[in-house]
């Protein structure tokens, strides 16, 4: 589905966090499939997927089952967020003001911004390593800078260019990874490909959680890439194109990582294992992954910049950010990440995964509150004008019901956590499996619904929001 604006939409995006009016809406809903499929055929999900057999010692069959279960479950939450984009026409993080209040949303926006920056820095490290693997004469630090610059240009141009590149990438990377699978499976270099590892409940649950959390990590920015679609795009169409693209692309990459490390000797770095396992086509695979990580990483830069703009605009509410503002902030973030990545330790990716696991503890209850508020309470009807007011308009500066549910949602996860900072007693009892995200969702969702629907002041705001959105 497209509008007449499709052909006239500027290549360089002019909007930042503001509402996208109907005359500026463009694109087709199928673009969401190519965005999330092509964007997930990349080194970072390959490295993450390999952990199921490397770190959690599952065999191939149980590793694949855990990966599929995690992505299919987590992808539902991610795609439900995506379906909000055409209905709201604003980025996901600024929409959180409708649930938490103009100031109450700041913590979640800050956490999301930090996570995006972490993703961006990790991906440029992988880009540097991939470029060095293709051309030995290019040092990793130089490759990091080249990867960052490529992502920076794409991120600054913005929304439309990101979608164009991923439409191309879906075909190129999709064919590439299928060919890679074929080569690896016909050139297995180990005798224990099918027998290395075994089923263990803690490792299986941990791998399921890792896959599910990979999907949930997209939740704070997934609707940023659907908000330009026409408002009359069916919610179901947005959901299914996003869900199928993300779940399929991520699953293929996770399984590819597991297959590559099982097909090569124990102890190899994942990307080295990919290069060895793919043999004659290894250099080509690394080139494809390099292009993929540069393209996909633009999403992380874009999301980080929108989060920073949202933070600043909360206090400088008269500021109308433009494309120039977005470009300047993008350059600042890019330079800071380059500096951090070049000086990072050799285990930068490992530290990043640890950081994401910690941050997701505080993002999971946000996901529950946002989805319950959108689908069960407001049913997609919000007063957009209030969201951009300094005092939060009808939503206020703080929503005590959301903040209480959010705090409890974090607290109930603590016994089930397994992070570098803390291992909860329940997690320790089940050999380290992290089920905090499941508990967080199951507790926060009904609790927030109960608190919100029983608060008379909130019901009045809800009624006001419906009236305002219909004007």
**Structure confidence at residue 344 (pLDDT):** 64
DSSP 329-377: HHHHHHHHHHHHHHT--TTHHHHHHHHHHHHHHHHHHHHHHHHIIIIII
Contact call for residues 193 and 60 (beta carbons, < 8 A): yes
Contact call for residues 368 and 451 (beta carbons, < 8 A): no
Report the SS3 class of residue 423.
strand
pLDDT for residue 4 is more than 60: no
> Does 424 map to a domain?
no
Residues 6+ apart with CB under 8 A from 88: 95, 223, 227, 380, 382, 384
- Give the span between the Cα atoms of 96 and 453, in whole angstroms: 18
Query: In 158-281, which residue ranges form alpha helices assigned H by DSSP?
Result: 159-186, 201-216, 235-262, 270-277
- Give the span between the Cα atoms of 159 and 271, in whole angstroms: 30
> Does 118 map to a domain?
yes
> Does 159 map to a domain?
yes
Place of tokens 């290019």: 138
Q: Which of the four pLDDT bands, split at 50, 70 and 90, describes residue 217?
A: confident
> Does 182 map to a domain?
yes
Residues 6+ apart with CB under 8 A from 183: 277, 278, 279, 280, 281
Residue 332: Cβ within 10 Å count: 12
Find the mean pLDDT for residues 341-361: 66
Query: How many distinct structural domains can be found in the chain?
Result: 1
Find the mean pLDDT for residues 158-187: 83
* DSSP strands (E only) in 63-138: none
**Structure confidence at residue 290 (pLDDT):** 80
Tell me the per-residue pLDDT of 415-436, one tens digit each, with 9 for 90 and over: 988 777 788 888 888 777 778 8
Specify the CATH number for the domain of residue 332: 1.10.4160.10
Q: Which of the four pLDDT bands, split at 50, 70 and 90, describes residue 38?
A: confident
Of 107-111, 164-168, 259-263, 276-280, the one with minimum mean pLDDT is 164-168
**Angle value at C-alpha 122, between 121 and 124, nearest 5 degrees:** 65
Tell me the per-residue pLDDT of 116-172, one tens digit each, with 9 for 90 and over: 887 788 788 878 877 887 787 888 888 888 888 888 887 777 667 777 777 887 888
Place of tokens 């292009």: 291
Contact call for residues 220 and 115 (beta carbons, < 8 A): yes
> Does 91 map to a domain?
yes
> Does 425 map to a domain?
no
Find the mean pLDDT for residues 96-120: 85
Phi, psi (5° rounding) for residue 350?
-60, -45
Find the mean pLDDT for residues 312-341: 78
pLDDT for residue 180 is more than 50: yes
pLDDT for residue 192 is more than 80: yes
- Give the span between the Cα atoms of 269 and 276, in whole angstroms: 10
Tell me the per-residue pLDDT of 44-63, one tens digit each, with 9 for 90 and over: 889 889 999 998 889 999 99
Of the candidates 446, 15, 29, 23, which has an alpha carbon nearest to the alpha carbon of residue 233?
29
- Mean pLDDT for all residues in the chain: 83
Find the mean pLDDT for residues 100-109: 87
Q: Which of the four pLDDT bands, split at 50, 70 and 90, describes residue 2?
A: very low
Residue 15 structural domain: 5-347
> Does 74 map to a domain?
yes
Place of tokens 């439309």: 160
- Give the span between the Cα atoms of 136 and 55, in whole angstroms: 29
First to last CA, the chain: 26
**Structure confidence at residue 402 (pLDDT):** 93
**Structure confidence at residue 115 (pLDDT):** 80
Report the SS3 class of residue 418.
strand
Find the mean pLDDT for residues 305-317: 80
pLDDT for residue 450 is more than 80: yes
For the CA atoms of 423, 426, 431, 435, what is the dihedral angle to 10 degrees?
-80
Global pTM reads 0.84
| Polymer length of the chain | 471
Q: Which of the four pLDDT bands, split at 50, 70 and 90, describes residue 469?
A: very low
- Give the span between the Cα atoms of 106 and 133, in whole angstroms: 41
* Maximum mean pLDDT: which of 34-38, 171-175, 404-408: 404-408
Contact call for residues 249 and 96 (beta carbons, < 8 A): no
**Two structure tokens written together for 163:** 């979608």
> Does 250 map to a domain?
yes
Find the mean pLDDT for residues 276-295: 83
The better pLDDT of the pair 274, 134 is held by: 274
**Structure confidence at residue 375 (pLDDT):** 93
- Give the span between the Cα atoms of 166 and 168, in whole angstroms: 5
Of 202-216, 343-357, 448-462, the one with minimum mean pLDDT is 343-357
pLDDT for residue 404 is more than 90: yes
């Amino acid at each position: 589905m497209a509008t007449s604006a499709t052909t006239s939409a500027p290549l360089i995006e002019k909007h930042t966090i503001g509402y996208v009016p109907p005359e500026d809406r463009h694109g087709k809903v199928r673009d969401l499939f190519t965005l999330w499929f092509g964007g997930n055929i990349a080194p970072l999900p390959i490295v993450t997927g390999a952990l199921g057999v490397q770190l959690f010692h599952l065999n191939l069959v149980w590793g694949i089952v855990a990966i599929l279960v995690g992505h299919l479950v987590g992808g539902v939450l991610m795609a439900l967020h995506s379906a909000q984009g055409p209905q709201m026409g604003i980025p996901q993080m600024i929409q959180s003001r409708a649930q938490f209040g103009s100031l109450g949303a700041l913590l979640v926006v800050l956490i999301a911004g930090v996570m995006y920056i972490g993703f961006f820095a990790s991906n440029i490290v992988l880009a540097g390593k991939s470029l060095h693997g293709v051309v030995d004469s290019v040092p990793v630090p130089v490759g990091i800078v080249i990867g960052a610059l490529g992502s920076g240009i794409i991120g600054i141009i913005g929304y439309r260019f990101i979608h164009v590149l991923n439409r191309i990438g879906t075909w190129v990377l999709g064919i590439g990874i299928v060919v890679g699978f074929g080569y690896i499976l016909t050139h297995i270099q180990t005798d224990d490909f099918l027998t290395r590892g075994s089923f263990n409940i803690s490792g299986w649950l941990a791998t399921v959680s890792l896959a599910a959390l990979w999907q949930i990590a997209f939740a704070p920015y997934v609707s940023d890439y659907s908000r330009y679609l026409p408002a009359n795009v069916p919610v179901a169409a947005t959901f299914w194109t996003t869900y199928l693209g993300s779940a399929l692309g991520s699953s293929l990459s996770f399984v590819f990582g597991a297959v590559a490390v099982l097909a090569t000797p124990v102890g190899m770095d994942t990307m080295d294992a990919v290069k060895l396992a793919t043999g004659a086509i290894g250099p080509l695979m690394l080139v494809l992954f390099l292009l993929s990580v540069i393209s996909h990483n633009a999403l992380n830069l874009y999301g980080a910049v929108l989060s920073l703009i949202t933070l600043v605009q909360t206090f400088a509410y008269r500021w109308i950010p433009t494309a120039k503002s977005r470009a300047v902030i993008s350059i600042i973030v890019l330079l800071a990440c380059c500096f951090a990545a070049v000086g990072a330790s050799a285990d930068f990716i490992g530290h990043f995964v640890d950081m994401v696991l910690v941050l997701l503890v505080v993002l999971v209850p946000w996901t529950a509150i946002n989805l319950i508020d959108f689908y069960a309470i407001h049913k997609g009807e919000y007063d957009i004008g209030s969201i951009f007011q300094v005092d939060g308009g009808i939503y206020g500066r703080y929503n005590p019901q959301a903040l209480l549910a959010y705090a409890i949602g974090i607290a109930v996860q603590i016994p089930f956590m397994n992070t570098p900072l803390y291992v909860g007693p329940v997690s320790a009892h089940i050999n380290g499996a992290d089920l905090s995200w499941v508990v967080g969702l199951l507790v926060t969702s009904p609790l927030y619904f109960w608190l919100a629907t029983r608060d008379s002041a909130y019901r009045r705001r809800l009624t006001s929001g419906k009236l305002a959105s219909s004007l």
